[in-house]
Amino acid sequence: MIKSLMDWGIHCLQAGNLQGALHSFEQALWLDANYAEGYLFLGLAQQQSGDRQSAQQSFTKAIALNPQDARFYFYRGELYRQQQAYHQAIADYRQAIALKPDWSEPYSPLGELLFQMGNFPELIPILEALDRAGAGSDTLYFQLGVAYRCTNQIDLAKQNLERVAHLPSARLELKEIYRQKVMDWHFWMMNDAVRNQAYDLALQELVTPASTVLDIGTGSGLLAMQSARAGAKQVFTCEMEPIIAEMAEKIIMRNGYRQVIKVITGDSNLLQIPQDIPERADILVTETFGAWLPAEGALQTIYHARQHLLKPEAKIIPCAGVMYVVLLEAAELHGRYFAGYSSGFDLSWFNHISPYADYKFIGQIGQHEYRLLTEPVPLPRLDFYHAPPQLPELHLELEITNSGTIHGICSWFDLWLSDRHMITTHPDRSLAHNAPSYGQWVQLLEEPLTVEAGDTKELKVTPDGCSLV
């Protein structure tokens, strides 16, 4: 009797006869008030009739009668989701999965909700399980890509997003990854003909057919390919940013140097011989310098390479660098980041909420109005065959040669790629048509300082920059 009532109720439910369905399920439950399945179907009929409160009670009753049936939680979860009670819905979907992990139904709506709520750590295993079960779809790969990106698993994010790169939303996500991982200066450097030529000439001077070259900081693969073109027997090039390393590999292949150049994804400071490179290299070439020369870790990188990756008689490109420091008047540049007197009012208190406190400007100061208030002072020459792993701290006394207002401390450098080839980031080149891809480094002072010619100022230089004492 109960079975035929249930069958008729289900038939009515499927046919959209909700009154008939409700009546049949209620009759069945009148015959057996502990029939859990009956409450499930009654709940479904009530839900479809718009009586969500009764439906919720029915599903809850079904669960109370048989807490081991995953379906009851799933359908109550669906009801909660309809009611926008997302936390309860998630809890029910989770319970359904815990009871019956190989039942695929709850995974998708749970994934959807976790995605909406930004709960990516929990979402990832669910989407991975769906993918393994063959339920991969554009939406799934997109969501997985976003979830990996938001949990900083960039390689996996990229792989998944690339699978659905035909979706505009996926392309936007990929762009966001590139924005985070591929700095704009890569493009400036690739197009810095003066720099590129100087490296090329230095490599042509030093590379022989017997040379093994180690290029640290692959980027586009440019210096590695220059090394190969100069005739190196073998080139090892390492790049710590996997997205860039992968792209370099493609570029190297397209340019026909795959046989000679091996790209290693990783930080050179972790490379080992012979695990990563079969033997120590004859030549090191690297371009891992910042506008403040050691800012990208070049001194540590070169020091480590000398100790662990190069032959004792290896050549190093560049062989030396000279940093300069100078005090700078640059009111217009300063005014972009700090407030002072305007229209006769003192607005400098605004600096207390400035996001630019301790701001280091990196760019072409020649594109702003500036005056040098001291002679440029060279720091002790950094000979990369012997330089320590970090810039030694030092104090300098600078004599003011032009009266004015100090707005910042500026630094640039000369880089000697060989004894004959030097590139400079001197601000005089800022306005040239072939301005260097590196800018100058300027530590702006929050409070400008008026000085007279003949005054002296003490400067403290540390590995990270310099400041007035």
Ligand X SMILES: C[S@@+](CC[C@H](N)C(=O)[O-])C[C@H]1O[C@@H](n2cnc3c(N)ncnc32)[C@H](O)[C@@H]1O
For ligand X, the binding residues (CB under 6 A) are: 189-190, 216-220, 222-223, 238-241, 244, 267-269, 287-288, 296-297, 301
Question: How far apart, in Å, do the first and last CA atoms of the chain sit?
Answer: 95
Nearer to ligand X, 24 or 218 (CB): 218
Tokens 């011989």 belong to 273
Quote the least distance from Cβ 289 to ligand X, whole Å: 7
Nearer to ligand X, 271 or 327 (CB): 271
Q: Using CA atoms, how far apart are residues 29 and 65, in angstroms rounded to an integer? A: 13
Amino acid at 257: Y
Nearer to ligand X, 135 or 190 (CB): 190
Work out whether the CA dihedral 290, 293, 299, 305 comes out positive or negative: positive
Nearer to ligand X, 36 or 323 (CB): 323
* Counts of helices then strands in the chain (DSSP H, E): 17, 18
Under a CB-based contact definition with an 8 Å cutoff, are residues 73 and 81 in contact?
Answer: no
Quote the least distance from Cβ 417 to ligand X, whole Å: 11
Nearer to ligand X, 56 or 286 (CB): 286
Helix (H) or strand (E) holding 96: helix 86-99
Quote the least distance from Cβ 43 to ligand X, whole Å: 57
DSSP 338-354: ---EETTEE-GGGGGG-
What angle, 0 to 180 degrees and rounded to 10, lies between the N-to-C axes of helices 36-49 and 2-15? 20
384 CB contacts (<8 Å, ≥6 apart)?
302, 316, 318, 319, 320, 321
Quote the least distance from Cβ 185 to ligand X, whole Å: 7
Nearer to ligand X, 297 or 321 (CB): 297
What angle, 0 to 180 degrees and rounded to 10, lies between the N-to-C axes of helices 107-117 and 120-132? 150
Nearer to ligand X, 92 or 287 (CB): 287
Please compute, for residue 104, the number of CA atoms within 13 A of its CA located in the half-sphere on the CB side. Answer: 10
Under a CB-based contact definition with an 8 Å cutoff, are residues 281 and 310 in contact?
Answer: yes
Quote the least distance from Cβ 195 to ligand X, whole Å: 8
Quote the least distance from Cβ 308 to ligand X, whole Å: 12
Task: Tell me the three state secondary structure of residue 396.
Answer: strand
404 CB contacts (<8 Å, ≥6 apart)?
329, 371, 373, 450, 451
Quote the least distance from Cβ 68 to ligand X, whole Å: 54
- Max distance between CA atoms of the chain, in angstroms, equals 109
Quote the least distance from Cβ 186 to ligand X, whole Å: 6
Nearer to ligand X, 109 or 297 (CB): 297
Quote the least distance from Cβ 110 to ligand X, whole Å: 38
Nearer to ligand X, 222 or 230 (CB): 222
Quote the least distance from Cβ 217 to ligand X, whole Å: 2
Nearer to ligand X, 284 or 442 (CB): 284
Is residue 423 left, alpha or beta, with left meaning phi > 0 and alpha meaning psi from -120 to 50?
Answer: beta
Nearer to ligand X, 296 or 399 (CB): 296
As beta bridge partners, residue 342 has: 345
Quote the least distance from Cβ 303 to ligand X, whole Å: 11
Look up residue 126 and give its two tokens: 């669910």
Quote the least distance from Cβ 351 to ligand X, whole Å: 33
Buried (b) or exposed (e) across 276-307, using 16+ Cβ within 10 A?
ebeebbbbbbbbbbebbbbbbbbbbbbbbbbe
Nearer to ligand X, 92 or 239 (CB): 239
What is the torsion angle, in degrees rounded to the nearest 10, for the CA atoms of residue 329, residue 330, residue 331 and residue 336? Answer: -150
Amino acid at 184: D
